[in-house]
Amino acid sequence: MAKRQVMFTFPAELIKEPIIYNLGHKFKVVTNIRRADVTENRGWVVLELEGEEADIEQGIAWVTNKGVRVDPVIGDIVEG
Amino acid sequence: MQPVNVCDFCLSPLEVSYDYKTLAKALSREKLAQGPLTMWRYRDMLPVEGKEVDIGAGFTPLVKADNLGRELGLDRLYIKNDCLNPTYSFKDRPVSVAVTKAREFGFGTVACASTGNLAASVAAHAAKANMKAYVFVPSNVEPGKLVGTAIYDPVLVKVDGSYDDVNRLCNRLAERYNWGFININLRPYYAEGSKTLGYEVAEQLGWRAPDCVVAPAASGLLFTRIWKGLDEFSMLGLIEPVNTHMYLAQAAGSSPIVNAFQAGSLHVHPVEPDTIAKSIAIGNPADGYYALMVARQSGGGACAVTDEEAVAGMKLLAQTEGIFAEAVGGVVVGALRKLAASGSIKRNQLTVAFITGAGPKTQEIVADVVRPVTIQPTLESFEEVLSVPA
Ligand SMILES: Cc1ncc(COP(=O)(O)O)c(C=O)c1O
């Protein structure tokens, strides 16, 4: 089993969709929310995904395809 | 202490904390002033126990910039010239602490992902510490920058992929290998090294904080640590309470923190960077939120500068103060110009601009300044072409 810590950023049109719920149901991935801030037109969620490496990858690809931006929770690490 | 960088619970970044009460009793201006002329004169306020890995970082000049000040309408402008570090950028400060810590933790190998400055500094400090270094760079890094890193003989890994691919790969490597990853598991210690910029400026100004600071922000870490350095000095009773207005500068092509500041938002939304100021092209800044808070709470601000304005800033800095900075310095000067013109920074405020990296690494950006006059090797030719009165 692997764990991945990520940040999802949702555009306005996806705020009302149960994306995280669906992620947990469509893929064998456990979603564990740690921090979040969602307003009417924007939202972000910091969460940990747990599952097999391949399932996590497929889950992230599906979420990205939906229009959610997925970033590592520790930010960009390629520094100047 | 452990090599961890995020809280298990909320996944937020971790910070080092100190016992300021005990420190305050042990420290004084006189004692600090007797220390070595490097950043290690502030060793008591850095999170290290063992012998430091020191290649001479810090205690760089703070110069009064009268010519540039006149140009911008600022009477009390100073430049902290941190180009004058061993590997030509301020990164030697945080890296010196991080590599010292890596050795304390027993790591035999240090690693980082970088487009230049960080890579060179890590490789140089690893050489001094007799440690192995792995340095990961995106495949589009300019050859000039690679030389400045490769000379210290790290394992230089060019990753065939986009910036995001390198990011993702290095996060995975950090989970898998027992290395000291400078800006991942060593990040809380790395961060602390940049506080010395705040300390030095206060000491060099005769034990006082500036009225205004203008500094660049990529991940936002440097900016928050300059503030922390000033704040700690006042907590330790070394200077009066700090009332500095902190202004951060970003390139317009990569300005997520400035965007958030201007929108009055608390969340820094990631962007896709596109700027010549490559060393501050970070789209998803780890400390963006904290930098935003420092800018807001100090009554400062945030300012974005186009690539053209940055190049103009580089030239202006060189031609007024004799300092050849990289594009980041141009961004800082561009921001300074705007802040002075708009009246955000007043003429009589004591202002310090932080110039954090040297120009020769990325000379291509200003190659158009080379316009020599060509003459024959004769007196006649010289006088004919240049018509200088003898
Ligand atoms: C020359 C220079 N100045 C400023 C910065 C910004 O530092 P930070 O990521 O701490 O905001 C960097 C690196 O990222 C840099 O290379």
The 10s digit of each residue's pLDDT in B178-201 is: 999 998 999 999 999 999 999 999
Residues in chain A: 80
Residue B142 contacts residue B364 (beta carbons within 8 Å): yes
Burial environment of residue B211 by CB neighbours within 10 A (0 to 12, 13 to 18, 19 or more): middle
Compute the distance from residue B188 Cα to the ligand 1 centre, in Å.
Answer: 16
Q: Cα A24–A29–A30 angle (5° rounding)?
A: 80
At B165, is the pLDDT very low, low, confident or very high (cuts 50, 70, 90)? confident
The mean pLDDT of B154-159, rounded to a whole number, is: 96
Encoding tokens for residue B277? 């100021």
Domain that residue B156 falls in: 91-190
User: Can you give the pLDDT at residue B296?
Assistant: 97
More confident residue, B109 or A11: B109
- B119 with B213, same domain? no
Decide if A18 touches B, using CB distance below 8 A.
no
- The neighbouring-strand residues paired with A70 are A8
Residue B53 included in any domain: no
Closest residue in A to B286 (Cα) is A75
| Mutational test site, ligand 1, from B88, B142, B219, max ligand atoms within 8 Å of CB | B219
More confident residue, B297 or B266: B297
Q: How far apart are the CA of A26 and the nearest CA of chain B, in angstroms?
A: 24
- Comparing CB atoms, the residue among B170, B171, B280 nearest residue A80 is B280
The mean pLDDT of B17-35, rounded to a whole number, is: 94
Per-residue pLDDT tens over the stretch B52-61? 999 999 999 9
- B177 with B204, same domain? no
Q: Does the CB atom of residue B255 touch ligand 1 within 6 A?
A: no
- B333 with B208, same domain? yes
Compute the distance from residue B8 Cα to the ligand 1 centre, in Å.
Answer: 27
Encoding tokens for residue B190? 């790395």
Are the beta carbons of A74 and B184 separated by less than 8 Å?
yes
Per-residue pLDDT tens over the stretch B297-337? 999 999 999 999 999 999 999 999 999 999 999 999 999 99
The mean pLDDT of B131-146, rounded to a whole number, is: 89
Mean pLDDT of the residues in chain B = 95
The mean pLDDT of B81-101, rounded to a whole number, is: 98
Encoding tokens for residue B150? 């490769």
Summary count for chain A: helices (H), strands (E)? 2, 5
Assign residue B151 the CATH number of its domain.
Answer: 3.40.50.1100
User: Can you give the pLDDT at residue B80?
Assistant: 98
User: Can you give the pLDDT at residue B172?
Assistant: 87
Among protein residues, the one whose CA lies closest to atom 13 of ligand 1: A80
More confident residue, B204 or B139: B204
Q: What percent of chain B has pLDDT over 70?
A: 100
Helix (H) or strand (E) holding B119: helix B117-128
User: Can you give the pLDDT at residue B140?
Assistant: 80
Cα–Cα nearest to B306, from B335, B278, B326, B283: B335
Decide if A39 touches B, using CB distance below 8 A.
no
Closest residue in B to A34 (Cα) is B10
User: Can you give the pLDDT at residue B1?
Assistant: 79
- Comparing CB atoms, the residue among A46, A74, A76 nearest residue B282 is A76
At B139, is the pLDDT very low, low, confident or very high (cuts 50, 70, 90)? confident
Residue B31 included in any domain: no
Residue B37 included in any domain: no
Are the beta carbons of A77 and B167 separated by less than 8 Å?
yes
- B328 with B316, same domain? yes
- Comparing CB atoms, the residue among A5, A9, A80 nearest residue B114 is A80
Compute the distance from residue B117 Cα to the ligand 1 centre, in Å.
Answer: 8
User: Can you give the pLDDT at residue B12?
Assistant: 86
Q: Spell out which residues of chain B touch residue A60, defining contact as CB-CB under 8 Å.
A: none
- B77 with B124, same domain? no
Per-residue pLDDT tens over the stretch B331-368? 999 999 999 999 999 999 999 999 999 999 889 999 99
User: Can you give the pLDDT at residue B337?
Assistant: 98
Residue ranges of chain A with per-residue pLDDT less than 70: none
- B209 with B71, same domain? yes
- B248 with B329, same domain? yes
DSSP string, A15-27: TTS-HHHHHHHHS
- For the cut 90, the answer to whether the pLDDT of residue B282 exceeds it is yes
The domain total for chain B is 2
User: Can you give the pLDDT at residue B9?
Assistant: 85
Cα–Cα nearest to B64, from B194, B197, B243, B210: B210
- Comparing CB atoms, the residue among B9, B278, B283 nearest residue A80 is B278
Closest residue in B to A71 (Cα) is B284
Compute the distance from residue B105 Cα to the ligand 1 centre, in Å.
Answer: 26
Look-up of token digits 């958030």: B260
Lowest-pLDDT range of A76-80, B139-143, B283-287: B139-143
| Mutational test site, ligand 1, from B184, B196, B222, max ligand atoms within 8 Å of CB | B222
At B11, is the pLDDT very low, low, confident or very high (cuts 50, 70, 90)? confident
- For the cut 80, the answer to whether the pLDDT of residue B390 exceeds it is no
Q: Cα B218–B279–B220 angle (5° rounding)?
A: 15
Q: Spell out which residues of chain A touch residue B91, defining contact as CB-CB under 8 Å.
A: 79
Domain boundaries, chain A: 12-72
- For the cut 80, the answer to whether the pLDDT of residue B152 exceeds it is yes
Residues B149 and B124: their CA atoms lie apart, in Å, by 8
Q: Spell out which residues of chain B touch residue A73, defining contact as CB-CB under 8 Å.
A: 6, 11
At B141, is the pLDDT very low, low, confident or very high (cuts 50, 70, 90)? confident
- For the cut 90, the answer to whether the pLDDT of residue B8 exceeds it is no
pTM: 0.94
Q: How far apart are the CA of B108 and the nearest CA of chain A, in angstroms?
A: 21
CATH architecture assigned to A12-72: 2-Layer Sandwich (3.30)
Q: Spell out which residues of chain B touch residue A69, defining contact as CB-CB under 8 Å.
A: 270
- For the cut 80, the answer to whether the pLDDT of residue B142 exceeds it is no
Residue B251 included in any domain: yes
Are the beta carbons of A73 and B112 separated by less than 8 Å?
no
- B179 with B123, same domain? yes
User: Can you give the pLDDT at residue B2?
Assistant: 84
- B146 with B198, same domain? no
Compute the distance from residue B89 Cα to the ligand 1 centre, in Å.
Answer: 9
Are the beta carbons of B10 and A37 separated by less than 8 Å?
no
- Comparing CB atoms, the residue among B6, B113, B117 nearest residue A73 is B6
Residue B30 included in any domain: no
Q: Does the CB atom of residue B222 touch ligand 1 within 6 A?
A: yes
Angle of helix B307-321 versus helix B327-341 axis, rounded to 10: 90
- For the cut 90, the answer to whether the pLDDT of residue B161 exceeds it is no
